[in-house]
A and B are shown apart, each in its own frame.
Chain A
């Protein structure tokens, strides 16, 4: 390729990207429950044993549960979480029950606002959620670095003030990106945009890597412009077993399997041994979960997107 394209090419392997992440980092995850989780990224963080992490997210899901289940997480800043009908996020709930994790629990909009403030370079943002709730009561005591009470300087109305969130790293899984990092997201995108742009470093995982010319045909679809992106990881099926709209459905069989395994710490370790430590990379993992036959079963139908 021409030299200018070599220089602007941000495509890297997930292993190389994760190697650059220090222990103790605050990582913002772009999935929502069982939709568009960066599973390939979470697996590699587990393989490389990055410890003492802070994770933030609007609605936690499988990627978060994996990382907490792997014992790598010290703190959570989150709005909620579940595996939808496949059950609760048991590793996370166990950690909260046992007091082995610090957790700031708020709401979906609170995380979106916190990221928005961070993305805009604002040190705080007022919100009318959380007032009179137990989350507010607990966080005012335990997390004055995160939330305060305040009044509007113009109207005197009471607000909760949320600290702007600037994660060390934001990771989002998208359907389409070019080598420069320009990203299109298909389907709904919860808090992806503001979360991505709040991060001090931004990594994207993409199902499909397209030429920049493709992006240039419909630039209004670009949610994240490439100049903000540090690295692009190209991994088809990188969200399995979560669903990626337009590409594949969630893998109900594997989610049921996981729901069973993650019920106890012992079985969770078995799961990690088999599917994460026992696989060298995502391609080996995909073979283990049923290979081409299974992937073909969950591949999206164009008309439905699932």
Chain B
């Protein structure tokens, strides 16, 4: 194995893997969340159950899928069903511990936008929409958002509220939502959390090699910063080996 540097994606995936625990049930999409959950299963969470919204349980792909609709992600599943089973009888029922979602934008309350972007003049440009994102954000016990760090990706207020976090800082109960809401936002610069009374994102840890100035310059909302600032733990030697040699050897997701 080469002595090359650990990439930001590898740090993100290692951090995300720590957010799922043994014996839990997680709903994942494609990409880094799936890599993270496979890493978790190979290390501290051998009994982690993985579900895909389209109706796939416990898949073991051998070829890298390009998306949720790629037959490669169905391989060696133990169950094939549909939305009513995964998003219904698992997620809506309330037994999904962790849901991973991606974002076009994620604001300071952990509200996620996957629907559209707005120009400066207010013109809307539509994108993919919710698919299962709103369902996961509304109903999972904990939500982990995976997003690239940037001022436009982390605005003060999302241009469109697809998947609610703590809307306007209100509690989940007030909002009528059952799930616990956003727990972590994992970016290529930091891990953010929502453990404060205002239900706004605060810094949990900063990735190695990132400065606080860089971080704040690239964050579109005020960020509560602890003193001293914890550094996100990188992958252990074994975790790195697993990622590079077994889980994503083709570096499709771990660029």
Contact = CB atoms under 8 A, between A and B. Distances in A.
A127 B128 contact: no
A165 interface: no
B7 interface: no
Given A109-B135, A112-B88, A132-B176, A190 B55 contact: yes
Nearest to A105: B129
Nearest to B159: A134
Interface string B110-131: 0000110000000111111111
Size category of the binding interface on chain B: 35 or more
Given A135-B162, A158-B176, A128 B138 contact: yes
B67 to A, nearest CB: 3
Nearest to A252: B66
A131 B176 contact: yes
Given A61-B69, A84-B68, A130-B134, A188 B55 contact: yes
Interface stretch (B16-24, B34-42, B71-79, B144-152): B71-79
Contacts of A110: 134-135
B164 interface: yes
A189 B66 contact: no
A108 B53 contact: yes
A58 interface: yes
Contacts of B95: none
A170 to B, nearest CB: 15
Given A33-B69, A80-B130, A112-B87, A128 B162 contact: no
A252 B52 CA distance: 22
Contacts of A33: 67-69
Contacts of B167: 132
A151 B167 CA distance: 21
Interface in B8-62: 30, 52-56, 62
A191 B82 contact: yes
Interface stretch (A3-11, A12-20, A47-55, A242-250): A242-250
Contact of A134 (B71, B84, B88, B162): B162
Contacts of A113: 88
A133 B82 CA distance: 24
A81 interface: yes
Contacts of B221: none
A96 B130 contact: no
A129 interface: yes
A128 B139 CA distance: 8
A32 B164 contact: no
A180 to B, nearest CB: 23
A92 B126 CA distance: 9
B75 A133 contact: no
Contact of A107 (B71, B80, B132, B178): B132
B53 A85 contact: no
Contacts of A236: none
A191 B72 CA distance: 20
A135 B134 contact: yes
A34 B30 CA distance: 14
Nearest to A113: B88
Contacts of A61: 69
A58 B69 CA distance: 13
Most buried by B among A86, A133, A137: A133
A280 to B, nearest CB: 29
A158 B52 CA distance: 27
Most buried by A among B88, B129, B131, B175: B129
Contacts of B128: 80-82, 88-89
B161 interface: yes
A93 to B, nearest CB: 4
B138 A134 contact: no
A188 to B, nearest CB: 4
Contact of B82 (A80, A84, A97, A112): A112
Nearest to A305: B71
Contacts of A128: 92, 138-139, 176-178
Contacts of B177: 128, 131-132
Contact of B161 (A133, A157, A194): A133
23 contacts: A32-B68, A35-B71, A59-B54, A59-B131, A96-B126, A105-B130, A106-B130, A108-B130, A112-B83, A128-B92, A130-B134, A132-B164, A132-B176, A133-B138, A134-B162, A188-B74, A190-B54, A194-B84, A242-B69, A245-B71, A249-B71, A304-B62, A304-B75
Q: Which 4 A-B pairs have the closest CB atoms?
A: A84-B67, A80-B131, A80-B129, A188-B55
Interface of B: 30, 52-56, 62-63, 66-72, 74-75, 77, 80-84, 87-88, 91-92, 114-115, 123-135, 138-139, 160-164, 167, 175-178
